[in-house]
Structure 1
């Protein structure tokens, strides 16, 4: 990926501003932007937790006027079945969000299983280095904290490449910077990574 872009024409969710697009999620973004072309009025979005899938769902609702069911794999199957049917009958787009698609998402209700099988599916993957760096800079710029490049490079060489790990690392960096009344430094990044178990001090 040569550049990170933002879907600026989409309404921002109430809690934050920015959904950063890269190779890990660009296919999902394009698919949701073109909801009017879906062969059925429902799509399934899967991906790891903390990947921005709920934020993308809120953006989708704001753009399309449709509905979203998050954590659908934990929801009551009969209710999902009726929601799927209602989306088709009312021509109102429905986005279903789950950790995994079938068969990893085990659906017991045959009628729901057949409908999910006929539903377009897109996925958010784990983040690239560019997305990790962009999220770090974006998050801390909102707090008027600069992230030194040597700290970013150090982090990228050692952290797990997952949205979940990045989310909790940012939380830890936030807390340590607040507790110490400190700017972000390489030393603070080292301490945060040690606390998260990425390195031994």
Structure 2
């Protein structure tokens, strides 16, 4: 008989898991992974932009469930993916496959693998919303040992492009500007960092 009881795990728990910030941009994917026992098959395809935290999320998922995580799955050996998918069903241990695009857009040569992947659920991490951008900018600066006031974080986050790549660019620029000036990241340093990546003072992308 198919198990119809969701088995959510505590989210998050230890230090590495606290590095994953949940917002509307990724909450659908997080909820889907929490309730893996209700999946129609024991496999899911997770997509998301690079630097979106999908690899961290996949590792957390595998550690919590005892399942398997395969990153960049669209580039992996098809025979191995085929056997991994079948093993997940036989062992009732979830398989999470991460890629840039849904499996329908992969170039799959094995018909049996294609049919199995198309039968698997797909969830996506979206480009960051503003709360996630604030959290990520602050977190990445903290990792580099840089303390920044909330109003400065909000100032830069509201002006950069709405992408994980954009977040990485401004964090690099802030780090370089602070190092060059040998002082904390003030609003003046933030303006210099924005200018270094081509963002002018009057640019305001997000509220």
**Displaced runs of 4+ in structure 1, greater than 6 A?**
none
Instruction: Give the aligned partner of residue 3 of structure 1.
Output: none
Which one of the candidate residues 10, 13, 33 is aligned to 2:12? 10
Instruction: Give the TM-score taking structure 2 as reference length.
Output: 0.82
CA contact (8 A) 2:137 2:157 kept: no
- Structure 1-normalised TM-score? 0.84
TM-aligned CA deviation for residue 197 of structure 1 = 3.1
Deviation at 1:52, TM superposition (A): 0.6
CA RMSD of aligned residues (A): 2.4
Instruction: Indicate if the aligned counterparts of 1:13 and 1:55 stay in contact, CA closer than 8 A.
Output: no
Q: How does 1:144-159 map to 2 (within 5 A)?
A: 145-149=147-151, 151-159=152-160
- Is the radius of gyration larger for structure 1 or structure 2? 2
* Structure 1, unpaired ranges of 5+: 1-6
State yes or no: 1:46 paired with 2:47.
yes
The count of residues paired between Structure 1 and Structure 2 equals 193
Instruction: Please say which of residues 106-115 and 190-199 is displaced more in the overlay.
Output: 190-199
Cα distance in 2 for residues equivalent to 1:157 and 1:138? 16
Runs (5+) with no aligned partner, structure 2: 1-8, 202-207
Question: How far does residue 112 in structure 1 lie from its aligned partner after superposition?
Answer: 1.2
Residues 12, 53 of structure 1: alpha-carbon distance in 2 compared, 3 angstrom cutoff: farther
